[in-house]
Amino acid sequence: MATEADVIVVGGGVIGLTTAVTLAERGLRVRVWSRDPAGATTSAVAGALWWPYRIEPAERVGAWSLETLAVYEELAAAPEETGVRLVPGLHGGERFAALGPWAAELKGAAEVAEGLRVVLPLLDMPVHLAWLERRLVAAGGAVERRAVSGFAEAAERSPVVVNCTGLAARELVPDPGMRAVRGQLVLVENPGIEEWFTEADPASEATTYFFPQPGRLVLGGTARAEDERPEPDAAVAREIVARCARVRPEIADARVLGHRVGLRPVREGGVRIEAGALPGGGLLVHNYGHGGAGVTVAWGCARAAAALVG
């Protein structure tokens, strides 16, 4: 078999690119096969605040998240280049007692009457994804626009295939435990807000949040299971703006710049990182099912998957 690479990573979102960078910087010849440009992936839509929210398995997520946090704290030294900034904000209604052991590692976090105040990484995802691609190329890797119908196709060109296909794993593995959880965002002109804010409503699918990104304020959000409509819903958009304006009234008059919809790749049983065999004796490593927290665990999961590649 003539091999084109030591490893082919299928999927070019934040999980695929971070995994590819990790492998390439260990000296392996890595190619990423991605159906969509990075800017058109689900990752590009993400509000992208680091926080282990709605992700399983709980016993592993804390370590993956803290490993990733340490990387982002370093990348925040060059925010224009990496898209990573450290930004203060408030998790409304949050308490340390309700969080996992990982929360004890948060530097400078403080409980206040309104919730938990903390400085966290906030990522401008289009910038960050472009930076990951450049870092991959600098390490000798490459990204190809390529849709696949199965992993055997990649196995013909590489002895190792890493599955970072997110929601597409539902058909490609196939994994019937995968489901889409729809998120909708509204982008508005920032009326001068410098801190992020989040507040979950346990009784509904809605989360109220706003994230100050360069050139815009990102408002959210929703978490609707079994809803795979790609187009924004105007009524939902109005509700998002109204909820955010209850926290910061100036948001009500902010000019709308655009709308975004993303389908979170949620998996029954949580993130899957494990190795199996490919037809013909190759190695297939899975790294998918990160729900809405792919950004939060990206580097920890990449290293766990890379350890299975060997």
Mean pLDDT by 10 residues, the chain (310 residues): 85 98 98 92 90 92 98 98 98 95 95 98 97 98 96 95 98 97 97 97 84 97 92 97 98 98 96 94 97 97 97
* Adjacency order of strands within the sheet including 283-288: 142-145, 30-34, 7-10, 160-163, 283-288, 272-277
Residue 209 confidence (pLDDT)? 98
Among candidates 301, 308, 275, 283, which has minimal Cα distance to 17?
301
Burial 193-228 (b: 16+ CB within 10 A, else e): beebbbbbeeeeebbbbbbbbeebbbbbbbbbeebe
- What lies within 8 Å, CB to CB, of 85 at 6+ separation is 76, 79, 121, 122, 123, 124
What is the value of pTM for the model shown?
0.96
Residue 4 confidence (pLDDT)? 84
CA atoms of 277 and 306, how far apart (whole Å): 16
Among candidates 226, 224, 197, which has minimal Cα distance to 209?
197
CA atoms of 85 and 119, how far apart (whole Å): 10
Report the half-sphere exposure of 53 (CA within 13 A, side-chain side).
16
In 136-252, beta strands by DSSP E: 142-145, 160-163, 178-188, 196-200, 206-213, 216-222, 224-225
Residue 199 confidence (pLDDT)? 97
Assess contact for 30 and 7: CB atoms under 8 A. Answer: yes
Burial 90-103 (b: 16+ CB within 10 A, else e): bbeebeeeebeebb
Residue 310 confidence (pLDDT)? 85
The C-alpha angle 268, 15, 116, rounded to 5 degrees, equals 75
CA atoms of 154 and 10, how far apart (whole Å): 8
Residue 2 confidence (pLDDT)? 57
Report the half-sphere exposure of 80 (CA within 13 A, side-chain side).
0
Report the half-sphere exposure of 230 (CA within 13 A, side-chain side).
3
CA atoms of 6 and 69, how far apart (whole Å): 29
Beta pairing class for 84-92 and 115-123: antiparallel
Residue 39 confidence (pLDDT)? 85
Among candidates 54, 11, 7, which has minimal Cα distance to 271?
54
- Tokens at 219, concatenated: 């408002």
